[in-house]
Amino acid sequence: MLRYLTIFATFARACLVRDMTFRANFLLECLTSLGWMSMNLAFYLLIFSFTPEIGRDSGWSREPFFAFVATGLIINAVVQALFMPSASELAEMVRTGGLDAILVKPLDAQFLLSMHRFDFSSLANGIVGVVLLAWAVPRFPVPPPLVAWLLYPLLIVCGVAILYGLIITLAAATIMMGRNQSLYDFWFYITNFSRYPAEIYAGPWGGPLRMLCTFVIPILLVVNVPAGTIAKPLSGEAWGMVLVTVVAAVAAISFSRLFFQTALARYRSASS
């Protein structure tokens, strides 16, 4: 484990060196990312100028909702910084045979493939997320209890784990298929669901969609459960969802691991 942490740190250091080599690009990426996020926040402020709450009696009034947005920013920043750059490179590596070099290294291939490239500029959004959370929490109608503060980081880790499982599953599909671009589009479509409170999915279409995105592809748990734990009272149902989230995280990691191993056994490599 220590060895993997050391290698992780070495990769991170090497990526930082690379990012510093292209300083202008790094700053531009930070600015683009912050610009996109500022527009989103402005959009939400606009919505709250028309309504005091998103969804009837949902508990997502302005400050709790901004805690929800902050939680999403933190989770997505971690995923975008640590896993997405490597995963998005994978399709090209499979197509060109670059994956070969990874498979001959005496390290876990999944670790190497999912964590060899980082994008530190994405962490800028995470920092804004922490600041936004620090602004929103003292303005909650009811302050979060100690147990919510203890559960919050654990559930953030679970949210990241669910997204990581999804990324690895898509990456494994890439290895099996040799070429896979639409599945990365699928990633962006599906993760869009995680950006809004689960309560908005109601009615004859919304209800089944909510069930699907909670229990089959548990994308709705990723932000909703940690944000709900800190921003809303911990009811019996909330405790149930905490348990579901922990189970979903373990299942996502286990399933993606199994699928990845199966895909590697079927890897064909590319022509020299």
Residues contributing to the site for another protein (CB under 8 A): 3, 6-7, 10-11, 14, 17-18, 21-22, 96-98, 100-101, 103-107, 109, 265, 267-269, 271-272
Helix axes 221-231, 146-177, angle to 10 degrees: 170
CA–CA separation, 224 vs 231, rounded Å?
A: 10
Contact of 67 with 42, CB cutoff 8 Å:
no
Specify the residue, 113 or 213, whose C-beta has the smaller distance to another protein: 113
Q: Which residue from 77, 260, 71, 254 is spatially nearest to 170, judged by alpha carbons?
A: 260
CA distances from 17 to 20, 26, 86, 101, 153 (A): 5, 11, 17, 22, 29
Q: Which residues make beta-bridge pairs with 53?
A: 61
At closest approach, how far in Å is the CB of 2 from another protein? 11
Specify the residue, 100 or 207, whose C-beta has the smaller distance to another protein: 100
At closest approach, how far in Å is the CB of 90 from another protein? 15
Specify the residue, 107 or 150, whose C-beta has the smaller distance to another protein: 107
At closest approach, how far in Å is the CB of 169 from another protein? 21
Specify the residue, 112 or 133, whose C-beta has the smaller distance to another protein: 112
At closest approach, how far in Å is the CB of 190 from another protein? 25
At closest approach, how far in Å is the CB of 104 from another protein? 5
| SS3 assignment, position 61 | strand
Specify the residue, 32 or 96, whose C-beta has the smaller distance to another protein: 96
Structure tokens at 72: 């999403």
